[in-house]
Structure 1
Amino acid sequence: MFIKYDGYELLELFLSDGESLSGNIEDGNIKYSRTKSKFSLTMYIRTYEQQVSIFLKYKNSDIIYVDLKNITKIERKDNYLKLCDGDKQLANIHFGEFFSINVSKQ
Protein backbone atom coordinates (compact mmCIF):
# COMPACT_ATOMS: atom_id res chain seq x y z
CA MET A 1 0.00 0.00 0.00
CA PHE A 2 1.06 3.60 -0.49
CA ILE A 3 -0.16 7.20 -0.37
CA LYS A 4 -1.35 8.62 -3.69
CA TYR A 5 -0.49 12.30 -4.23
CA ASP A 6 0.58 14.72 -6.93
CA GLY A 7 4.01 16.22 -6.26
CA TYR A 8 3.14 19.26 -8.39
CA GLU A 9 0.14 20.08 -6.19
CA LEU A 10 2.37 19.94 -3.11
CA LEU A 11 4.96 22.10 -4.88
CA GLU A 12 2.30 24.75 -5.54
CA LEU A 13 1.24 24.89 -1.88
CA PHE A 14 4.63 24.49 -0.18
CA LEU A 15 6.45 26.57 -2.85
CA SER A 16 9.33 24.07 -2.93
CA ASP A 17 10.02 20.49 -3.87
CA GLY A 18 9.94 17.78 -1.27
CA GLU A 19 13.20 16.64 0.30
CA SER A 20 14.15 13.02 0.80
CA LEU A 21 14.68 12.07 4.44
CA SER A 22 17.25 9.44 3.50
CA GLY A 23 18.88 10.93 0.43
CA ASN A 24 16.93 8.52 -1.80
CA ILE A 25 13.76 10.19 -3.12
CA GLU A 26 12.50 6.81 -4.38
CA ASP A 27 12.10 5.35 -0.86
CA GLY A 28 8.95 7.42 -0.33
CA ASN A 29 10.02 9.26 2.83
CA ILE A 30 9.60 12.92 1.92
CA LYS A 31 9.58 16.21 3.84
CA TYR A 32 7.76 19.33 2.69
CA SER A 33 8.07 22.62 4.55
CA ARG A 34 7.05 26.24 4.24
CA THR A 35 7.52 29.32 6.41
CA LYS A 36 5.14 32.28 6.43
CA SER A 37 4.85 35.19 8.90
CA LYS A 38 7.05 33.47 11.52
CA PHE A 39 4.94 30.30 11.24
CA SER A 40 6.66 27.13 10.06
CA LEU A 41 4.71 24.20 8.63
CA THR A 42 6.45 20.87 8.05
CA MET A 43 4.84 17.72 6.69
CA TYR A 44 6.56 14.34 6.61
CA ILE A 45 5.13 11.76 4.23
CA ARG A 46 6.01 8.10 4.76
CA THR A 47 4.46 6.87 1.53
CA TYR A 48 4.70 3.10 1.96
CA GLU A 49 3.72 3.15 5.66
CA GLN A 50 0.71 5.37 4.82
CA GLN A 51 1.65 7.83 7.55
CA VAL A 52 1.81 11.63 7.55
CA SER A 53 3.19 13.78 10.37
CA ILE A 54 2.43 17.50 10.50
CA PHE A 55 4.28 20.05 12.63
CA LEU A 56 3.23 23.67 13.03
CA LYS A 57 5.54 26.07 14.86
CA TYR A 58 5.52 29.77 15.65
CA LYS A 59 8.92 31.40 16.16
CA ASN A 60 10.41 27.88 16.53
CA SER A 61 7.98 27.00 19.35
CA ASP A 62 5.67 24.03 18.82
CA ILE A 63 1.98 24.81 18.36
CA ILE A 64 0.67 21.47 17.14
CA TYR A 65 1.91 18.06 16.11
CA VAL A 66 -0.37 15.58 14.33
CA ASP A 67 0.51 12.02 13.35
CA LEU A 68 -1.96 10.48 10.91
CA LYS A 69 -2.09 6.81 9.94
CA ASN A 70 -3.87 4.95 7.14
CA ILE A 71 -3.59 7.89 4.74
CA THR A 72 -4.29 6.62 1.23
CA LYS A 73 -4.35 9.92 -0.65
CA ILE A 74 -3.38 13.56 -0.34
CA GLU A 75 -5.16 15.95 -2.66
CA ARG A 76 -5.35 19.66 -3.24
CA LYS A 77 -8.62 21.57 -3.40
CA ASP A 78 -7.94 25.28 -3.98
CA ASN A 79 -5.85 26.44 -0.97
CA TYR A 80 -6.57 23.28 1.03
CA LEU A 81 -4.58 20.09 1.25
CA LYS A 82 -6.85 17.18 2.16
CA LEU A 83 -5.48 14.03 3.80
CA CYS A 84 -7.80 11.08 3.32
CA ASP A 85 -8.35 7.42 4.13
CA GLY A 86 -10.23 6.39 1.02
CA ASP A 87 -13.16 8.80 0.71
CA LYS A 88 -13.00 9.81 4.39
CA GLN A 89 -11.16 13.08 5.03
CA LEU A 90 -9.06 12.74 8.20
CA ALA A 91 -7.47 16.19 8.15
CA ASN A 92 -6.85 19.26 6.04
CA ILE A 93 -4.35 22.07 5.95
CA HIS A 94 -5.42 25.53 4.81
CA PHE A 95 -2.75 27.64 3.12
CA GLY A 96 -4.21 31.11 3.67
CA GLU A 97 -2.84 34.22 5.33
CA PHE A 98 -1.86 31.84 8.13
CA PHE A 99 -1.69 28.06 8.18
CA SER A 100 -4.71 26.28 9.64
CA ILE A 101 -4.89 22.57 10.47
CA ASN A 102 -8.18 20.74 11.01
CA VAL A 103 -8.24 17.12 12.18
CA SER A 104 -11.29 14.84 12.31
CA LYS A 105 -11.78 12.37 15.15
CA GLN A 106 -10.26 9.02 14.27
Structure 2
Amino acid sequence: RPTAKLLRQLARGGQVICITHLATVAVYGDDHWRARKEVRHGRTLLAVDRLVDAARTDEVARLLGGEETAEADVDAAGRAYARDLLREAREEFASGGLQGDLGDGG
Protein backbone atom coordinates (compact mmCIF):
# COMPACT_ATOMS: atom_id res chain seq x y z
CA ARG A 1 0.00 0.00 0.00
CA PRO A 2 2.75 2.57 0.69
CA THR A 3 4.13 2.02 -2.82
CA ALA A 4 0.67 2.37 -4.35
CA LYS A 5 0.14 5.56 -2.34
CA LEU A 6 3.41 7.04 -3.59
CA LEU A 7 2.63 6.15 -7.22
CA ARG A 8 -0.86 7.63 -6.90
CA GLN A 9 0.57 10.90 -5.59
CA LEU A 10 3.15 11.03 -8.38
CA ALA A 11 0.35 10.53 -10.91
CA ARG A 12 -1.37 13.72 -9.75
CA GLY A 13 1.31 15.73 -11.55
CA GLY A 14 1.60 13.61 -14.68
CA GLN A 15 1.48 10.16 -16.12
CA VAL A 16 3.15 7.27 -14.27
CA ILE A 17 3.99 3.96 -15.89
CA CYS A 18 4.83 1.24 -13.39
CA ILE A 19 6.05 -2.19 -14.41
CA THR A 20 5.54 -4.67 -11.59
CA HIS A 21 5.18 -8.34 -10.83
CA LEU A 22 3.49 -7.48 -7.53
CA ALA A 23 -0.26 -7.99 -7.63
CA THR A 24 -0.67 -5.81 -4.54
CA VAL A 25 0.78 -2.86 -6.49
CA ALA A 26 -0.88 -3.66 -9.82
CA VAL A 27 -4.42 -3.53 -8.40
CA TYR A 28 -4.03 0.18 -7.66
CA GLY A 29 -3.43 1.21 -11.26
CA ASP A 30 -6.08 3.06 -13.24
CA ASP A 31 -5.26 0.90 -16.26
CA HIS A 32 -3.70 -2.53 -16.43
CA TRP A 33 -1.58 -3.75 -19.34
CA ARG A 34 0.27 -7.01 -19.84
CA ALA A 35 3.56 -7.06 -21.74
CA ARG A 36 4.88 -10.38 -22.97
CA LYS A 37 7.62 -11.60 -25.24
CA GLU A 38 6.64 -13.53 -28.36
CA VAL A 39 8.78 -15.21 -30.99
CA ARG A 40 7.30 -15.13 -34.50
CA HIS A 41 9.13 -16.37 -37.56
CA GLY A 42 12.39 -16.36 -35.60
CA ARG A 43 11.98 -12.74 -34.45
CA THR A 44 11.43 -11.70 -30.86
CA LEU A 45 8.59 -9.22 -30.44
CA LEU A 46 6.94 -7.44 -27.55
CA ALA A 47 3.17 -7.85 -27.34
CA VAL A 48 1.21 -5.47 -25.11
CA ASP A 49 -2.46 -5.99 -24.27
CA ARG A 50 -4.83 -3.77 -22.27
CA LEU A 51 -6.59 -5.83 -19.63
CA VAL A 52 -10.14 -5.12 -18.51
CA ASP A 53 -12.74 -6.93 -16.44
CA ALA A 54 -12.15 -10.70 -16.27
CA ALA A 55 -8.78 -10.46 -18.04
CA ARG A 56 -7.54 -8.04 -15.38
CA THR A 57 -8.78 -10.30 -12.60
CA ASP A 58 -7.10 -13.31 -14.20
CA GLU A 59 -3.79 -11.46 -14.56
CA VAL A 60 -3.83 -10.32 -10.92
CA ALA A 61 -4.56 -13.92 -9.90
CA ARG A 62 -1.67 -15.11 -12.07
CA LEU A 63 0.65 -12.57 -10.45
CA LEU A 64 -0.46 -13.78 -7.02
CA GLY A 65 0.55 -17.31 -8.02
CA GLY A 66 4.08 -16.24 -8.89
CA GLU A 67 5.89 -15.27 -12.05
CA GLU A 68 5.92 -18.79 -13.48
CA THR A 69 2.18 -19.42 -13.04
CA ALA A 70 0.49 -20.15 -16.36
CA GLU A 71 -2.93 -18.65 -17.06
CA ALA A 72 -4.40 -22.15 -17.23
CA ASP A 73 -3.18 -22.86 -13.68
CA VAL A 74 -5.05 -19.97 -12.05
CA ASP A 75 -7.76 -21.46 -9.83
CA ALA A 76 -11.09 -20.17 -8.52
CA ALA A 77 -9.59 -19.26 -5.14
CA GLY A 78 -6.90 -17.16 -6.83
CA ARG A 79 -9.51 -15.36 -8.91
CA ALA A 80 -11.66 -14.71 -5.84
CA TYR A 81 -8.70 -13.23 -3.98
CA ALA A 82 -7.80 -11.11 -7.02
CA ARG A 83 -11.39 -9.79 -7.18
CA ASP A 84 -11.17 -8.89 -3.47
CA LEU A 85 -7.89 -7.00 -3.96
CA LEU A 86 -9.28 -5.08 -6.95
CA ARG A 87 -12.46 -4.22 -5.02
CA GLU A 88 -10.47 -3.02 -1.99
CA ALA A 89 -8.31 -0.80 -4.22
CA ARG A 90 -11.40 0.73 -5.87
CA GLU A 91 -12.96 1.36 -2.46
CA GLU A 92 -9.78 3.01 -1.21
CA PHE A 93 -9.72 5.32 -4.24
CA ALA A 94 -13.39 6.18 -3.76
CA SER A 95 -12.91 6.98 -0.06
CA GLY A 96 -9.81 9.09 -0.70
CA GLY A 97 -7.72 6.66 1.36
CA LEU A 98 -4.68 7.08 -0.90
CA GLN A 99 -4.68 10.87 -0.80
CA GLY A 100 -2.71 11.41 2.43
CA ASP A 101 0.67 13.08 2.87
CA LEU A 102 3.76 10.98 2.15
CA GLY A 103 5.09 11.79 5.61
CA ASP A 104 2.26 10.03 7.45
CA GLY A 105 4.08 6.70 7.68
CA GLY A 106 2.13 4.95 4.92
TM-score normalised per structure 1: 0.26
TM-score normalised per structure 2: 0.26
